[in-house]
Amino acid sequence: MTAAKPLLLIVDDDPLISESLGFAFAQALDVITSHSRPHALAMLRQLRQAPQIALIDLGLPPFPHRPDEGFALIGDLLALSPEMKIIVLSGQNDEENARHARTLGAVDFVGKPCDPGRLSALFQQTLSFPGKIENQPLAGLIGESLPAQRLRLQLGQFANLAFPVLIEGESGSGKDIVASHYLHQLTNRRDKPFLALNCAAISPTLLEPTLFGYAKGAFTGASTAKAGYFEDADSGTLFLDEIGELPLDLQPKLLRVLENGEYQRVGETQTRISKARIITATNRDLRQETRAGRFRADLFHRLSVFTVAVPPLREMGNDRLLLLDHFRKIYASQVQLPPFTLSPDAEALWLDYAFPGNVRELRNIVIRLTARHAGEMVSSELLLAEFDAADPAENPPTEAIGLVADDLEQTKQSARKHLQNAGRLKLDATLELWERGYIEAAIELSAGNMSQAARRLGINRTTLYNRLEGWSRR
């Protein structure tokens, strides 16, 4: 039997580029193409298995002359499949965009035009590095910093309990590894199934039958009955990632399972019982989502019987060196090349960098350095080229303007008038409105330059894009 070829996703709004590249890579790869972010995501949600590698443009509709859609797509693809290798191929190839794409999780960046032969070699190189690292110590929890120790202590207390656990943390911080390793593999459920479902990766109309199963004839295409994740998990662990994306109309049904274990397949009246332990994860603030009415308060309280926070790398100090050493050894061994080293200046730079993309960004940097500088000493100049220029540790605002007493008094006067006229207001909605106003004003004043806008606001560019993306989803 012929081994299945790796699946490549190409996303570019120029059909000539997509078709020509698809033809060039057809012998070595199975290729699917798309012209926009919504189309690509809709298509991928129908696939049984996510592509191993993606080649995407930054300039996609409806903003083909801006990188916004491409940056958002990187995050969307990694939400669908954290192990997907993403390479950016774009004419918007200034160094700033390249750095930011890599920070978001892209493994590499190539400017247009590009020789297909170079891309083919890059694909081979990229696929030679493993996504998941089997039989290795848990990378996401390596460390001796206080946040790492606190997390290990919490997980040791919760691991074998049957109650739900909510894992909070930024994108790329390793929440899925915490769930699968510490809350399943190191528990008395290790011999039971571990099933993971990304709630953002499934179409809302398919999420209910995916979770609960369905009866024959329950909907068009349901030619046979099928068990859902709750049934297949049995008495093991069910991990629901991106739980904040769960539709409101489905939340009461999940609440019912959490309260008494009961659920029904779609199209059935028979009540079934789930004995699975529920682990959830989110990079959103579910407390704020609850206050805004986008997430049920009763469901939040049931999911968060125990809550653990996976720390971002910027809070883990010298643990960044431990992670560097961990991944460096693994990937050098994987491709049978000698590991690189950092010069003293580069090592100091490594410790100063905040890693806004967290463990995922760190891992990708190690992969690139292993491929390009195996057995060499990497200078601070070479390392700096890998970092996002908008990182606050590297580029602090030169003139940060803080609040003074007069500003506060003026704001109080405005708030008093607003409250008197409005009578009653929704504080969260009002604060969000002010935040959006400041962000849009900063973007306008910066003529669309997102790095400059982020510096005006005193935030990192990744944070700015995350805020914009969050609003666009509502």
Which 3 state secondary structure label does DSSP give 224? coil
What are the residue ranges spanned by the domains of the chain?
7-127, 146-309, 313-384, 405-457
In sequence order, the 6+-apart residues with CB closer than 8 A to the CB of 245 are 199, 200
Contact 264, 218 (CB under 8 A): no
Q: DSSP of 327-382, one letter per residue?
A: HHHHHHHHTT-PPPEE-HHHHHHHHH---TTHHHHHHHHHHHHHHHHTTSEEPHHH
- Tens digits of pLDDT across the chain (474 residues): 456 789 999 999 999 999 999 899 988 899 999 999 989 988 887 787 889 999 999 999 988 888 889 998 998 888 778 889 999 998 887 788 888 888 888 999 999 888 888 899 889 888 888 665 544 444 446 888 999 888 988 888 888 888 999 999 988 888 988 998 889 988 889 999 999 998 887 878 889 999 999 999 888 888 899 999 999 999 999 999 999 989 999 999 999 999 999 999 999 999 999 999 999 999 888 998 999 898 999 999 999 999 999 999 989 999 999 999 999 998 888 888 899 999 999 999 999 898 988 999 999 999 999 988 999 999 999 998 888 755 544 444 444 445 555 566 777 777 777 777 766 777 777 788 888 888 888 887 776 667 677 778 877 666 777 777 677 656
Fold: same for 7-127 and 146-309: yes
- Cα–chain center distance at 247: 19
- How many CB atoms lie under 10 A from the CB of residue 132? 10
- The fold of the 7-127 domain, in CATH, is Rossmann fold (3.40.50)
Q: 183-199, pLDDT tens digit by residue? A: 998 888 999 999 999 88
Judged on CB neighbours under 10 Å (0-12, 13-18, 19+), 332 is middle
Q: HSE-up of 433 (CA within 13 Å, CB side)? A: 6
Q: Is domain 146-309 annotated with CATH 3.40.50.720?
A: no
pLDDT per position as a tens digit, 142-176: 888 999 888 988 888 888 888 999 999 988 888 98
The CATH number of 313-384, from 1.10.10.10, 1.10.8.60, 3.40.50.1100, 3.40.50.720, is 1.10.8.60
Digit-coded pLDDT (tens) for 366-402:
999 998 899 999 999 999 888 875 554 444 444 444 5
Handedness of CA 253, 259, 264, 265 (dihedral sign): positive
3-state helix, strand, coil in the chain (%, to 5): 50, 10, 40
Q: Look up residue 341 and give its two tokens.
A: 């080293």
The conformation of residue 214, written as its DSSP 8-state character, comes to B
Indicate if the alpha-carbon torsion angle 332, 336, 339, 340 is positive or negative.
negative
Do 236 and 277 contact (CB within 8 A), yes or no?
Answer: yes
Rounded Cα–Cα distance for residues 391 and 103 (Å): 10
Instruction: Check residue 318 and report its DSSP letter.
Output: T
Report pLDDT digits (tens) over 106-150: 999 999 888 888 899 889 888 888 665 544 444 446 888 999 888
pLDDT number for residue 474: 61
The Cα–Cα gap between 334 and 331 comes to 5
From the CB of residue 171, how many other CB atoms can be counted at a distance below 10 Å?
Answer: 21
Show the tokens assigned to 472.
């666009």
Task: Report how far Cα 408 is from the mean position of its chain's Cα atoms.
Answer: 37
Please report the pLDDT score of residue 51 as a whole number: 92
